[in-house]
Amino acid sequence: MSEFDVWSIDARTGEKVEAVASTTTDAEVDAAATRSAEVAPLLVAAGLAGRARLLRAMADEIEKDGEAIIAAADRESALGQGRLSGELARSAYQLRLFAEVLDDGGHLELTIDHADPKAIPAPRPDLRRMLVPVGPVGVFSASNFPLAFSVPGGDTASAIAAGCPVVVKAHSGHPYTSQLAAAALRRAAASVAMPEDVVQVVHGRQAGTRLVVHPAIQAVGFTGSVGGGRALFDLAVARPQPIPFYGELGSINPFVVTPEAAAQRAESIAAGLAGSFTLGVGQFCTKPGLVFVPANADGQRLVAALGEAAGTIAGGPMLTPSIRDSFLSGAKQRAELPGVRAVLSAAGQISPHVLVASATALDDVLLEECFGPLVVVVEYGDESELFAALDRVPGSLTASVHCGDSEGAADSFAARVADRVTGLAGRILFNGYPTGVAVTWAQQHGGPWPATTFPHHTSVGTTAIRRFLRPVAFQDAPAGLLPAELREDNPLGLPRRVDGRYELHA
């Protein structure tokens, strides 16, 4: 073990605890990517049922090792046992939900058009379309979700469900957690007679770069910063064969309180916001970072209550020393901007910060995400001031609208706000708080740049599988050469569109 040079660091103390792995060499990355391509056909051959079994075994195995995995993740992230128990449960649930997706089969988009010699405008052949896996997928773990957006997380679950083996670049903040989780997933594969290498892990920044440009890798899932994500995105699209890079980068998550909502619920909104922007020490991609309140007495009440509520919430260690440094310098920079008033801040401290600015004098820096427990409140005078400011807000994962009791109709102020923010986010919340992302069929976790590299896809929810699939149409195939999914007699009992009409399996 003496050659190990990847250290597991205690996030609470900053101390090196133990070396848990070796930095992956270029040759090892190449071997992992090549091996991934070798095992890919076996994941395809396993079919829907085989991959569903694999996903359920993976859920079982990470639960079996739950205690050790949670302890490691807590040591490496300081996120706490409670939060991490929830994250493990969420990860297991997510793996099982993708098994349900495979049971359902709707994600294959099966479509059959029978031959029609009399078709207009020209005779047409028999065409049968389905989605097939794209091939090996590179996954970049997130700092702030050592489980649900890391080795056993959503990208891995959706890629495996699609039929794509993964090579995960472990986050430097939680290498030991990554090793433990990978071991559980690999053991699960072996338990259902699949190759362990459907999941592989690499360590080190250079390994990540090499992974993105390796010819065997056909898509990448990423959760991280705008800077790091953009650099890898640029590599992915500059390859001789460009590949899709599904990156979730930075998000300011605008949050609009209408005048009526402020009048009716200033204090309760303030309490909810305080809890949301400080959750997990503000280290959520959906943290509400920019809150619009009316520039009136109700807005002032809300700001005061927000400062008070947040003032009772403790800070805490952040995920890594560099995240801590970035937060402190980002908070300082913002607090010192002309026109910015600090309602709550403690210079040099990891504690909740509430800053206030005017919609008419909103510095560009305030529109950028500050990862950590900091919120910027923007006071707007009227609808035109609000909308002019919203027009400057970058694409986000979420946008929240808090509306009053009388604003539930399509001609209300709240309706106009909702319509406006739908243009800039992937999830629109009403009277709620964006932290906490449910894993369901309808979830959308993505949004216009820089929230994600492209807004067409999601990294949470069942449709995340679509990122790793491509369509193939079979024309006039002899029955015996068709994939089972497309056979006329529908032996797998799958839903499909036939001659233009969608049919559910009876």
When asked if residue 491 is in the footprint of a second copy (CB under 8 A), the reply is no
Residue in 195, 455, 487, 492 binding a second copy, rule: CB under 8 A = 455
Q: Which two tokens stand for residue 219?
A: 């898509």
When asked if residue 93 is in the footprint of a second copy (CB under 8 A), the reply is yes
Count of residues that bind a second copy according to CB under 8 A: 90
Q: Is 18 marked active-site?
A: no
d(CA 343, CA 338): 15
d(CA 355, CA 169): 36
Interface residues for a second copy in 218-237 (CB under 8 A)? 233-234, 237
In the complex, the smallest distance separating the C-beta of residue 134 from a second copy, rounded to whole angstroms, is 7
Interface residues for a second copy in 428-447 (CB under 8 A)? 428-432, 436, 438, 440-444, 446
In the complex, the smallest distance separating the C-beta of residue 30 from a second copy, rounded to whole angstroms, is 18
Q: Which is closer to a second copy, CB of 68 or CB of 127?
A: 127
Q: Are 200 and 193 in contact (CB under 8 A)?
A: no
Q: What is the dihedral of CA 193, 199, 203, 204, to 10 degrees?
A: 150
What is the SS3 assignment for 222? strand
Q: Which candidate in 76, 164, 285, 407 is catalytic?
A: 285
Q: Is 87 marked active-site?
A: no
d(CA 203, CA 94): 24
**Strand 290-294 to strand 374-380: parallel, antiparallel, or no bridges (unpaired)?**
parallel
What is the SS3 assignment for 473? strand
Kindly state the DSSP code that residue 71 receives in the 8-state scheme.
Answer: H
Residue in 27, 118, 241, 506 binding a second copy, rule: CB under 8 A = 241
In the complex, the smallest distance separating the C-beta of residue 445 from a second copy, rounded to whole angstroms, is 8
Residue in 120, 312, 489, 506 binding a second copy, rule: CB under 8 A = 120
Taking alpha carbons only, the member of 23, 20, 22 closest to residue 9 is 20
Task: Tell whether the torsion through CA atoms of 101, 102, 107 and 111 is positive or negative.
Answer: negative
In the complex, the smallest distance separating the C-beta of residue 503 from a second copy, rounded to whole angstroms, is 8
When asked if residue 388 is in the footprint of a second copy (CB under 8 A), the reply is no
When asked if residue 418 is in the footprint of a second copy (CB under 8 A), the reply is yes
**Segment (H or E) for 113:** strand 111-113
Backbone angles phi, psi at 218, to 5 degrees: -110, -5
Q: Are 343 and 354 in contact (CB under 8 A)?
A: yes
Window of 65-73, 304-312, 358-366, 408-416 that interacts with a second copy by CB under 8 A = 408-416
Interface residues for a second copy in 471-490 (CB under 8 A)? 471-481
In the complex, the smallest distance separating the C-beta of residue 63 from a second copy, rounded to whole angstroms, is 11
Residue in 51, 56, 75, 90 binding a second copy, rule: CB under 8 A = 90
- List, by residue number, the catalytic residues: 248, 285
